Structure 1
């Protein structure tokens, strides 16, 4: 009886695993089909076009393999991730500090909200040009650019969280004479965290794209620099290869870091 029961459980697990695998296949089958059709179309068009205008998928794949084999990809991906992460973390800390200020006064909240709107309306190229003037060809230029682009996104989410605070908790904090810091630590901060992580997900993806653009103008390493270098040397296959690497970076960060964190936070709430 024990053996039979164990066998049934094993068969049940195998069946469940098969169903899960089939479900995943059915979930991604339309996307895979579209991608395959896209590659076929790419092959057809590339065979009738100059390699400079549109390289074939085969040449792009070969270039990808070369970049990974010789280690070039790790150097430049690491440089880009360092810059975008530094600017992104600085933006997160500043957004939290501004949230502390905004939670202490409705007037300051209105002022900061207006400043956030002004920053959000400022073009990324304004910050790139200013960063080149102020910091020159250094890492600080893309870090500064990433910081200025991510701050308004994060601030908007922090302000949305503050607006949705439970007013009864705030009234209770006033009754017990909480200081502004205590009110932020015990009431505002726990409520802000889910909103902040949702904003961080968007801000990081935006910051990565902006940092790559800044690298084209201001540094000698990074994914943006390598894409521009490939363009200058008429290596369109390398441009496509680095573009695929950038897309993969975004997908990995989103699915490995931010998506699990957001699911955990949602479950905790």
Structure 2
């Protein structure tokens, strides 16, 4: 028992070290990006590309004036609403299609069409259907993210090891244990990359939709700054957008992913 506790403590320490190291790697890549941005801005001038300091100073002014938070909240609400719908519906339908070969074959051409359809086309249709309001960006995000999540869920179900199912049956595992200890961890390992990819896409698409169809949100703010030829404000809004996306991914999805997938490390240490 003492040996197992020591092993678990060692595994936890190793996992923490890997997490910290990945954080340093992310900070290093961010530093390199900022350095390249700074050098490029110095060559092009503030009218074409402001420096990181100028963009951050402008962003700070937007926060101090109270103009930033409402726009960020509106964009985040729309992006997360469309993303949440795609996660729920895409995951459930993908799991169902993965279980049934017939459903999988029937869904393939539909998913191909959805993947090949450019988001701008969906945006035009959404404008005709929903008008200028929340419905247009939310629907555009949903329909663009749906096929990514659907394919991830379907592939996770289709690739489940048949021998693993047989072992679970031989040991007489209950349906709940099969679901939580055998099926779910494997499927989640496919779902999480799909969710993260869809999350990044949702932010890009919602800003595009806002720019063309709404009067509020970060996309609308970008349209205003563009009309005023205010490059610093444009870059400030882009920094706010990217910062919000990174915060959601690293503070919400990444810890959840590590918690759900910790079964792999535990299984390896047990063996």
TM bin (shorter chain): 0.7 to 0.9
> What root-mean-square deviation, in Å, do the aligned CA atoms of Structure 1 and Structure 2 show?
3.4
Kindly indicate whether residue 191 of structure 2 is the aligned counterpart of residue 193 of structure 1. no
2:95–2:154 contact (8 Å) kept in structure 1? no
1:145 alignment counterpart: 140
Kindly indicate whether residue 43 of structure 2 is the aligned counterpart of residue 38 of structure 1. no
Larger Rg: 1
Extract unaligned runs of 5+ from structure 2.
1-16, 265-271
1:105 alignment counterpart: 100
Describe how 1:109-120 pairs up with structure 2 within 5 A: 109-120=104-115
Shift of 1:265: 1.9
Distance 1:156 1:34 in 2: 34
Distance 2:71 2:191 in 1: 29
Distance 2:86 2:31 in 1: 39
Distance 1:76 1:104, change over 3 A: same
Distance 2:155 2:51 in 1: 47
Shift of 1:142: 0.4
1:246 alignment counterpart: 241
Distance 1:268 1:71, change over 3 A: farther
For 1:232, which of 215, 220, 227 is the aligned residue?
227
Shift of 1:111: 1.3
Shift of 1:82: 0.5
For 1:96, which of 71, 86, 91 is the aligned residue?
91
Describe how 1:149-168 pairs up with structure 2 within 5 A: 149-168=144-163
Distance 1:90 1:55 in 2: 37
Number of residue pairs aligned between Structure 1 and Structure 2: 242
Shift of 1:163: 1.4
Shift of 1:133: 0.7
1:264 alignment counterpart: 259
Distance 1:174 1:34 in 2: 52
Q: Secondary structure at the match of 1:165?
A: coil
1:54 alignment counterpart: 49
Distance 1:167 1:122, change over 3 A: same
Distance 2:104 2:61 in 1: 52
The TM-score normalised by the length of structure 2 is: 0.77
